[in-house]
Structure 1
């Protein structure tokens, strides 16, 4: 029997495609996991739960900042949210390979299709498994006829009220063409881009539940590169040792630097509220949105998700979400607290 070797595992591929069926299935599984990964990322960023062993657990007693100071990387002041690099890499891969597959099929991606939205919502809580359907179907008699009623399982309802993101739609659209993905000349590259991106995002989200995340190690190695290994600290630890370069870091100093960096963050409102709570100045959700509506909390820019990825711009475009500076909210909260104290 003649054939070609799979570009990933070197198995013999009888239909002479770039990927074998096993690796093609791995690619599809990674795509179907995207909606649940993005939902878990939002949960982790908003501080509603901690993620461990692939599941959302109870609220952590600690509220670690879901950010990393990126000043050394960008030669200036800056921060990055938990999983931001991996989320951007995944978004870029999904948009890019969706265009490639659409060209291969000679078709357009039906991005506004209701079917894609339904598939994405299903995948959020089933994690791509067909064994955990989103809808419960019941057959009953009505007006002398047999009809089927469908309703959403109560535990899954929260997943359905969150708007479906473009990245989720692209992922399930790609996953719905398993054979065509294996037909692509660059299928091996598509596999690496998507599987690696989803793997990186999963590692960022599934952080140890009993440890505090401190960001990445900033130690310069002998070859001039930055260590960049993830740093974790025990709940009451004052020092944390880097698992890669073995340098010890003072936890209080890292957390103080993260708190200072947090003031410069540009965040959507849910992210801003969590960041304020994490630095010890919680702001009620209703208060934050009221400040924004009244113009007291100034909008600093717009966050836009596009085929090129995620970016922040001064221009308002379709689908843009307003972002606010954390330091502005903290200062506004301090002034209100001071004013209430002076009138007491």
Structure 2
């Protein structure tokens, strides 16, 4: 039995015969199980029937409106990610012959029944029924990266206010001649952050630009870059980055040990900014 470490970033548990480990398989199952509920919640946000605001304090209609564009994008990414993976895996599905109920809960019928309308929920159910086989495929890591990223992006919108994100060490000069080394965290929509140790107030956008400039030549996979750039205030998924690559908007700079293309962080950030500018121009 294989004891190769799980390739999922930050994991490393033994895979025991599969491409990814049992814990990451459970994460994938939970993500797919959550999709129908998430789709319904995103629809509610889009129709402004929910109130999404910061914790503690009144939730007014005004606080929900800025979330609608993000909910629309999260819903689109979720649906396109799931349907793309169904399209990828379905041709290899063995053909099944036998009685088929139109509506039932039989496991065999769920496997044979066509995908109704190719909705995000239907695709999630289809994939969920095949997780035990998916985790043994060579594409399991890539599938895990894309689906969990899309699901977690949607969950951030409907479950709770955005989390605080790292914006670097303070770095302010202190009276003793040293620099303050306290790590600073800010909400994604924060304009400024104050160091809890020395009281220095910093512009968040400036700090994120500095972090981005320091890491602009970093080469990494689409999944790792998506996590890094999201932490720096750019909402991007692995699927979006791979799409930029397929369309020639970014070019790979070599490949990692598993054959995955490596992209330059600054190139991806520029592609994200250009896409946002085009969306803004169309909606103007």
Q: TM-score, normalised by structure 1?
A: 0.39
Higher relative contact order (CA 8 A, sep 6+): 1
Higher helix proportion: 2
Higher strand proportion: 1
Please say which structure displays the higher CA radius of gyration: 1
